[in-house]
Amino acid sequence: MNIYSLPAIISFTVNFSTAFIVLMENPRATLHRWFAAFIFSFAVWNLAEILMLNSADLLPAMLGAQILYRVIFLTPAFYVIISYLFPKNLGTFATRPIFYVAVFSLPVLGLCLSFPDFQIELVSLKEALNIYHYHLTFNLNPVFLFLLLVSLSYIVWGSVVLVMKIKHLRTIRLKNQTRFFVSGMVFIFVGFIAIILLKASLRNPASFYWLSTIFTFIVALFFLITIMKFHLFKPGKMLSGGMTYTILSAATLSVYFFVVRAASTGLESWIGIDSYMLNAALIVALIFAIVPFEKRLRRLFDRLLNRDLHQQRGNILALFRELQGYHERSAFFEIIERFLVDNLKSSAVFIFDYRPEVNQFVESHADGTIPPVPESSSLVRELKRKKGVAEFYEITHTEESHEYHKFLEDVHARFLVPLTYAGNLMAIVVLCRKKYGLEYNENEKEILSILGSEVAASLRRNQMIEEMRVKDRQRFQVEKLASVGQLAASLAHEIRNPLNTISTSAQTLLQKSITEIDRKNLMRFIIEEAGRLNRILEDFLSLARIGMGTLVPIDMEGMFDRLCLELKNLDDLDIPVSYEITTRHGGLVSDPDLLFQALLNLGINARAAIRERCSNDEDFTCTDGMIQCVVSADTHHFIVSVTDNGIGISPDARKLLYDPFFTTREKGTGLGLSIVHQIVAVLSGSIEFASRPGHTRFSILLPRKTAE
């Protein structure tokens, strides 16, 4: 093994690894098998050069030259077959064995007729006479001319097929792949012919050797770059692993030629150790030294091959986090559109949302200028069949005259992303061409596939929330109607009693046989019941008029002074009313009018409870009564409480305490605590109570907040 063969060895390593990667991605695919064989033919070319450059005598070198001669004239046949299959087979005949036999029959016939006088010679390099290289000899031999004509014809044939195929390919990606591939292959064949023609002007055979070996290395790099840059195939981790071991092998060979051999030669002359054993030991040591770099190289290639995915990973995670919450349907689609425009540089994004009421997919902006896509259209059927991201021109359209199809063509639609969940197509995302004349790549298509499934799941979750909200609104409406009906029934019941009293009293007054005392009593009943009716209506209107309130800082001392004065002036009962502020209330922000009304209602109920205890308890007088208002605070709330020592609340009444028109007092309207409960809800607070005979406390908990 000599240093002259190093470029050929590295080229062989790259070509062989690339061919293996392409084959193993999908061994059953015809294109993969033939493309791998095509690349492997160049690996055999490199192997023949290695054999010539490392032969100890002429016979093995001649074997390498014979192999190389055959590869040179068989490679164009591989190119013709690849041209029909790559990137997409447009005809069925190209997959039939008879086609392969026909293509290879001419070069194989020429090679058979050439045996044993092949037009190839070995030349020894002046720098090392036992190292051989090749050159083709040109003469008027009919068989050689036949082979040369067949090879050139095949090169032109394959190139024309690829060029003609471009206009029939429906996607920009496939067209770009084909252009790049045919350009590279034409460059390879023209370069090889140029090097052969230059040989006549090169006096030193070593110069021709360096040109040809560098050329084969460029060929190896071309196939590798083609797969990486244009994603002709999608080998994924296999490609990154293959590239890693290829580079490590090339690095090992390079270090071996430039370092190990020199070191082994020096050590052999110094300590007299057998060179083979020493070389083996040094190579093993070299392998162990390089192995730690394998993981780093693999991660590096993984980032290079999936650069777009890695760059977009953070943005995608941020999008998924944003979609976890609920969004209105229009806002949800706006988030998706903004992400695609900002991250994939799409010139425009349209989202067609399915509307079951019209059986159509309607564009989310719904401005009437964009035609809808019928559910029965061929586009929808194709998307349901594919179940994944599709390029617009890959889809077979049977309704090209339909206005939605013309619209998608006019806006230069590129990708269609179906949002499908559990087999149901909920929406179609349309991505138009990129900004700045750029094209989408395979990684971005992979990103769209990931987005499609995740966004569909988020959209379905939003739909479920919307459905639950609709059901809640319907249930609330039913409950609201039921509550209104119950409230109306209670109001009618409360009004009917005083109306009956008024009606009965009026009818009695019409009788002439009643005494003056009875007449006065009946008139008093009418006045009292009319006043009761007025109170019921006032309380009912108060309950209906409770608004949202205005939040301002509250002066609790002034409010309690006013409250105590109001409660003392209600009647002639001398019930003590006091207040206590146990915390700094400067941060208490609420609506003063609503809070005062709630405290006044609680105070009125407290006076009524004390009055009732006075009537029922012989040992208790109204002067023994007590109403106390207290302001305190905890970590999150201000607590305003009203405490009395009245009759208390019976266990049976506690569950119905806040229901409208529920009362235990003979002349009560049953709306006081309902009003308090609604006021507290408007103030974003809560109300609690604790009661036993002789002690009742209502506590209003208001959140700590600042005035706006």
**The domain spanning residue 319 has which CATH number?**
3.30.450.40
Query: Among residues 497, 487, 485, which one has the least CA distance to residue 543?
Result: 487
- Of 235, 259, 282, the residue that ends a domain is 235
- Domain of residue 648, CATH code: 3.30.565.10
- Burial label for 79, CB within 10 Å (0-12, 13-18, 19+), is buried
Tokens for 215, please give them: 């050329």
Whether residue 368 sits in one domain with residue 327: yes
pTM over 0.85: no
Domain boundary among 235, 252, 276: 235
Radius of gyration of the chain (CA): 47
**In 538-675, where do the E strands start and end?**
552-553, 577-581, 589-590, 627-633, 637-644
Partner residues linked to 633 by β-bridges: 638
Which residue matches tokens 């902006």? 365
Instruction: Determine the 3-state secondary structure of 636 from DSSP.
Output: coil
Q: Evaluate whether residue 513 is within a structural domain.
A: no
Q: What is the pLDDT of residue 228?
A: 65
Structural domain includes residue 141: yes
- Same domain membership, residue 240 and residue 198: no
Pick the closest to residue 417 from 443, 442, 450, 464 (CA basis): 450
87 by DSSP, 3-state: which?
coil
Bridge partners for 691 per DSSP: 696
Determine, yes or no, domain membership for 533: no
Residue 491 belongs to a domain:
no
- Pair (326, 217) in one structural domain: no
Do 173 and 391 touch, CB atoms closer than 8 A?
A: yes
| Block residue for tokens 């003056």 | 516
Taking the CA atoms of residue 511, residue 512, residue 514 and residue 515 in that order, the dihedral angle to the nearest 10 degrees is 150
83 and 200 housed in the same domain: yes
Length of the chain counted residue by residue: 708
The amino acid that residue 402 corresponds to is: H
**Domain identity same for 342 and 425:** yes
CATH number where 109 lies = 1.20.1070.10
Distance separating alpha carbons of residues 694 and 189, to the nearest angstrom: 108
423 φ, ψ (degrees, to nearest 5): 85, 0
Structural domain contains residue 56: yes
| CA 631 from centre of chain | 51
pLDDT of residue 99: 92
pLDDT in tens, 128-184: 556 776 666 767 788 888 988 999 999 999 999 999 988 888 766 778 788 888 998
Q: Is residue 461 part of a domain?
A: yes
Give the dihedral of Cα atoms 415, 416, 421, 422; nearest 10 deg.
-110
Considering the domain boundaries, does residue 364 fall inside one? yes
Which residues in the chain show pLDDT less than 70? 1-4, 56, 125-130, 133-136, 138, 171-172, 199-208, 228-312, 366-367, 396-401, 476-494, 497, 512, 532, 535-549, 584-587, 659-671, 705-708
Q: Answer yes or no: are the C-beta atoms of 681 and 543 closer than 8 Å.
A: no
Our CA dihedral for 484, 485, 490, 495, rounded to 10 degrees, sits at 90
* 342 and 214 housed in the same domain: no
Residue 686 falls in which region: left (phi positive, over 0), alpha (psi -120 to 50) or beta: beta
Cα distance between residue 312 and residue 317, in whole Å: 9
Q: Which domain holds residue 672?
A: 546-703
Phi-psi region of 347 (alpha: psi -120 to 50; beta: other; left: phi over 0): alpha
Task: For residue 508, tell me if it sits in a domain.
Answer: no
Q: What pLDDT does 229 receive?
A: 61
Query: Same domain for 211 and 267?
Result: no
d(CA 109, CA 118): 13
Task: Tell me, yes or no, whether 283 and 381 share the same domain.
Answer: no
Which pLDDT score, from 0 to 100, does residue 238 have?
A: 47
Q: Are 702 and 585 in contact (CB under 8 A)?
A: no
Domain edge (last residue) among 181, 212, 235: 235
Q: Which is it for strands 577-581 and 627-633: parallel, antiparallel or unpaired?
A: parallel
Number of folded domains that form the chain: 4
Q: For residue 250, what are its two tokens?
A: 């090339």
Same domain for 220 and 242:
no
Whether 550 and 650 share a structural domain: yes
Within this chain, do residues 274 and 388 fall inside the same structural domain, yes or no?
A: no
β pairing state of 349-355 and 424-432: antiparallel
Q: Which three-class secondary structure string do you get for 151-211? A: HHHHHHHHHHHHHHHHCCCCCHHHHHHHHHHHHHHHHHHHHHHHHHHHHHHCCCHHHHHHH
Q: Domain check: are 452 and 387 in the same one?
A: yes
The first and second tokens of residue 507, run together, are: 């009818």
Which residue bears the tokens 């590279």? Answer: 184
DSSP element (H, E) containing 124: strand 120-125
Under 8 Å between Cβ of 675 and 615: no
Q: Which residues contact 216 (CB under 8 A, 6 or more apart)?
A: 7, 8, 11, 42, 45, 46, 49
